Amino acid sequence: MEISSKLIDLFMEAEKIAKNAYAPYSNFRVGAAILLDDGSLVTGVNVENRSFGLTNCAERTAIYKAISERKKDFAAIAIATPDADYPVSPCGACRQVLSEFMGKDTPIVFGASKDNLVLTKLSEVYPFDALHELKK
Ligand code: THU
């Protein structure tokens, strides 16, 4: 599937913000960028902790920032993992949190670089989600 320039631009925002990741334990930086229906952007990075289980992924940081700013009309999300040499998809916990706030057709683009991107959508990475099933 052809990836629109809007989504590639969004990915580049995720790539840029990934530099701000706090990842001294894994050295695996992740950046996320959410595009809102009004055209604005909210970004986030992974924030690790020496108590490893307290780590917050980039996707959830971005979502929680957006909700804190009363921004909830999510049009798309991009995730950049510049320290990988292959595209890394959102973890299971993030898929659950994404499903709370995104429609089943919301585009998700992820990759290690803009030359190797995967375009998918929420219903593909999180099928049979109870929230969306119940909404039918
Ligand atoms: N991580 C994310 O931020 N998002 C993902 O989708 C995958 C994993 C972070 C968590 C941890 O800080 C590091 O990547 C290594 O797992």
Does pLDDT of 135 surpass 90? no
Name the residue with the closest Cα to ligand 1, atom 9. 57
Say if residue 134's pLDDT is above 80.
no
Sequence-separated (6 or more) residues with CB below 8 Å from residue 85: 112
* Residue bearing the CA closest to ligand 1, atom 10: 57
pTM above 0.75, yes or no: yes
C-alpha torsion sign, points 94, 99, 102, 106: positive
**pLDDT at site 2:** 84
Q: Which of 26, 45, 46, 110 to mutate to test the pocket of ligand 1 (most atoms within 8 A of CB)?
A: 46
Least confident stretch, 105-109, 118-122, 132-136: 132-136
pLDDT tens readout for residues 74-119: 999 999 999 999 999 999 999 999 999 999 999 999 999 999 999 9
CA of 136 to the centre of ligand 1 (A): 32
pLDDT at 132: 80
Residue 35 has pLDDT above 70, yes or no: yes
Q: Does residue 133 have a pLDDT over 90?
A: no
Closest CA to 18 of 50, 57, 44: 44
Burial of residue 9, with CB atoms counted within 10 A of its CB: 0-12 exposed, 13-18 middle, 19 or more buried: middle
Query: What's the CA-to-centroid distance between 45 and ligand 1, angstroms?
Result: 9
Gap between the Cα atoms of 60 and 65, Å rounded: 8
Q: Which of 13, 15, 48, 59 is catalytic?
A: 59
Q: How far is CA 64 from the centre of its chain?
A: 12
The predicted pLDDT at position 136 comes to 66
Give the binding-site residues of ligand 1, using a 6 Å CB cut-off. Answer: 23, 26, 28, 30, 46, 48, 55, 57-59, 88, 90-91, 94
Told to judge if 13 belongs to the known catalytic residues of this protein, a careful annotator would answer no
Take atom 14 of ligand 1 and give the residue whose Cα is closest: 28
Average pLDDT along the chain: 96
Q: CA-CA distance, 81 to 88, in Å (whole number)?
A: 7
CA–CA dist 51, 66 (Å, integer)? 25
